[in-house]
Amino acid sequence: MISKRTIVQEIIKLLGQDLENLAGSSASMHADASDEQNKAEDQYDTRGLETAYIASSQARLATETEAAMAAYQALILQKFAPTDLIDLTALVELESRGASDLYFIGPHRGGLEIKHKETEVLVITPESPLGQQLIGKKTGDRVKLQTRGPAQEFKILSVR
C-alpha cells in the first residue's frame, strides 16, 4: 500500500515539473510579446497584447504553483485511527458501485493523479465537492455526491 509520505513526495515532484514547464513557457511568451514582429500593424492587431496576457497568466500560475509546493513541503501528515474524523492529509478509501478508489485530502491542487507502482491516488481539497462531503466523516459512513447526473453514493472503507 502506498504511504502518505510517498504521495506528498510525488505531488512535490509533479509541482516541480509544472514549475519548470511554466518557467520555459512564460519566458518564451514574454519574448514573443516583446518581439519586433509582434508589434501591432494597425489598431485591430492584438497579437502582442494577447501574448502578453498569456505570459501574465502563466506567471500567475507559476506563483500559485510555488505556493502549493511550499504548502506541501511544510505539510505535517496526521495519522488517523478508524474512529477519527476525516480532515486534511487523510488518505481515504471509498467504495462506489463495487469499485474502490483512494483519495488524498491535500491543501492545494486538487485533481492531481498520483501513480505509484500499481496504486492510483486522486488528490482532492477540502473545498472540492467530494472533499466537502468527506470532511468530518469517519470509516463506515456514507456520503452522496450530486453531479449533473444521478447522485453517486460512496462508502468510506478506510481512513489513514
Q: Is 8 in the same domain as 51?
A: yes
**In the prediction, which pLDDT does 22 show?**
86
Q: Is 8 in the same domain as 40?
A: yes
Residue 97 lies in a domain: yes
pLDDT digits (tens, 9 = 90+) for 20-35: 988 877 656 655 556 6
Closest to 151 (Cα-Cα) out of 127, 130, 137, 126: 130
Residue 62 lies in a domain: yes
How many domains is the chain built from? 2
Q: How far apart (Å, rounded) are the C-alpha atoms in residues 93 and 130? A: 13
CB-based contact 57:49 (threshold 8 Å):
no
**In the prediction, which pLDDT does 27 show?**
59
- What beta strand segments (E) does 57-126 contain? 91-96, 99-105, 113-116, 119-124
CB-based contact 160:91 (threshold 8 Å):
yes
Residue 85 lies in a domain: no
Range of the domain at 111: 91-159
Query: pLDDT tens digits for the chain (160 residues)?
Result: 799 999 999 999 999 999 998 887 765 665 555 666 656 666 666 766 777 788 788 889 999 999 999 999 999 999 999 899 999 999 999 999 999 999 999 999 999 999 988 999 999 999 999 999 999 999 999 999 987 888 999 999 999 9
Q: Is 69 in the same domain as 111?
A: no
Q: Is 69 in the same domain as 32?
A: yes
Query: Which pTM value belongs to this model?
Result: 0.86
